Amino acid sequence: MTDSTPTATPERPAELPAQSPTVDPAATAATAKSPGQHGAAPAAGRLSFWRGDSGEGARRNLGLIGVLVVLVVIGIATRPDLYGNSSWVWDNILTILKLASVVGVVTVGMTFVIIGGGIDLSVGAIVALAGVWATTLATQSYGAGGMIFTALAVGLGVGLVNGLLVSYGKLVPFIATLAMMVAARGLAAEISDKQTQVSSNSVINGIASTSPLGIPLLVYILAAVVIAGWVLLNRTTFGRRTVAVGGNPEAARLAGINVRRHTVLLYALSGLCCGIAAIMLTAQANSAQAAMANLYELDAIAAAIIGGTLLSGGRGTIVGSLLGVIIFSTITNLFAINGLSTEAQNMVKGGIIVAAVLIQQFQFRSFTQFLGRNRLTTT
């Protein structure tokens, strides 16, 4: 009697529904590398970039440049006698850039904090505290190096305290930095005894008056900080983590990012920028006092918002923030040459901020709705 073991018959794979012909990846790559008929492929790629989310920053920056052009046209229309002088125009451009330099440095740090999902209302107070501490008689006895080190150390230290309060103390960033704003102003007033402290160091004072190649040194410092901030945000892991933490902190934590430590570093970076700004502002005034850098926090936040940084975090550009600072400096300059009041200038700035936030909300909602409709259509 022989045992007959049934042989397992391989199951026939289920037939798939009719589909489009498969595409060879190699052929696709070759097509992407070589221009299509009549150059249609490259044009479509450029068009999709321009219309897609990746081109949003470029579109916004071009819009900000358009605003600057409009402001220049208004200046030409209102003061043709000044804009007709080419020498005055160049000097005026340098004046605007010099006016934007200090706030621009603070705005770079603020941009990182906002992209990371936070807010820093204490930047103006940190600038004042760092400036006052750097101009005490004891600090000035160590020379320019001691003054610069003190300003940077104070800014970095206060920024670290802000970060620790927010990340490990679990305080709302608005409350933590608001408390620091009051405390830092109070400490600056205590150190200076509510008096203006004069800087007697010629090296520090010369920062504002030195103009290599005809361009103020303050503008060079602003350019260096902006370039460093752009590289840090767009070309390093730190920048990618900043966007991830601001976009979705829980997802960033699950991805292995130490959200608390990164938040501390963001506020420390903001404080470091404030220390740099303190030296620049002290050089401009040849002195420091507890009331210096008043409302710088509002100027920095407004410039970042104008530049496309979302208040909810997760998106922003350094170039956009710089353009926002230059726009506000141009508005200030435009009002000054036309002899208009500061009150009217502040009202215009407030209107621009409101308009920028409304545009951000409209664009974000429209993009979200588009994604939702796209998912439904795909499904």
Whether the pLDDT of residue 254 is over 90: the answer is yes
Whether the pLDDT of residue 16 is over 50: the answer is no
**Model pLDDT for residues 350-364, shown as the tens digit of each residue:** 887 787 777 766 655
pTM, two decimal places: 0.81
The rounded mean pLDDT for the chain is 84
CA atoms within a 13 Å half-sphere pointing along the CA-CB vector of 68: 21
Domains of the chain: 74-363 (1.10.3470)
**CA 263 – CA 279 distance, rounded (Å):** 25
**Model pLDDT for residues 79-129, shown as the tens digit of each residue:** 998 888 889 999 999 999 999 999 999 999 999 999 999 999 999 999 999
